[in-house]
Structure 1
Amino acid sequence: MRLFLALNPPPELRKRLGALADIAHARCGGRRMPDPSLHLTLAFLGEVEEAKAAELIEWVRGLTIEPGEWRLDGWGCFKRPGIVWVGGRHTDHGLARLQSRLWDALEARGFGMRPGGFTPHVTLLRRAASLEVNGLPAVDLTWSYERMELLHSVVDQRGAHYHSLATSQH
């Protein structure tokens, strides 16, 4: 099972992120992420055996994360594989602490090494024809979060779809 830990936006924010994805898609082309797929990845775990997944589900259900707010105020891109995203222009210390603590616990459970660098972002486009984000409209959104989810990524001919396996406590 291909798994990752993520924050899912509340419905109104998801709608606003979808509108930004439409704007970016009109300018940059590529494959627009469907609204239900818009999220912030905290830890990508990759392929996980079912027994380890069951362990993760129980662990996530027992977790309580520190609530926080994330300010999304900028556009960005990753050249490979042509990703256009929105996120914060400045380091969000709350998200950085959350991601670091999650990786501390994951490493203690034998889930490999944390990746280098953490750029909190919401991917809006993949395989964009243009990565020119200058001139896109200003972004000023606030994302209040208090729970995270363990998501299962299922890939088919339509692309990736995410299914929640567990949600942390509130």
Structure 2
Amino acid sequence: NLLHEPVTIASVLSVPTVKENLEYVIHSSASDRLKIDGIGFIGARKVHLYFDPPLVKEVAYEDMSAYPLTENQIILRRRHGYTWRELLGPLKVIGVDTGAGAVKVNGEDGVVVAQVMANINVALSTANTQLANNNKSHSAPAPGASVPAGVGGAGSDFLNDLAEKKKTV
């Protein structure tokens, strides 16, 4: 034996995966945190996730977990000005890397880790507008936008008036 004491020559890591969570609901930009459960995270000194649709770590979100991990869970925080998804729907993890290289999650399909819904304040605003207009659905356009003539039926005048009022405020 040439070595006087034991030396670690390799660390064997578990093959990581992410647990599907179809019931977890987050709001597009109102929910700041996202918890993701997995297997094989314990002991990891870093975890890199690959999302569908894509999210860029340290741009759209940051990892709030304490490393090395002592649980099979990571906590992500959405950064100001970003959303979990541009369009509402499922947020999937399609790959994970805990230090030994990226591994696909559930083949090519990935797993759903959250359902991204509309922000609560947007839903309440729409509901209040419907109540104020006797349950006639009207959606307010973005500031500076207008509704073309003939679009929106009877509500188009309402929407254009609203858009004009927002411009003057």
Query: Structure 2-normalised TM-score?
Result: 0.25
Compare the two structures and name the one with the higher strand fraction: 1
Q: Which has the larger radius of gyration?
A: 2
Which protein has greater RCO, CA pairs closer than 8 Å, 6+ apart?
Answer: 1
Compare the two structures and name the one with the higher helix fraction: 1
Query: Structure 1-normalised TM-score?
Result: 0.25
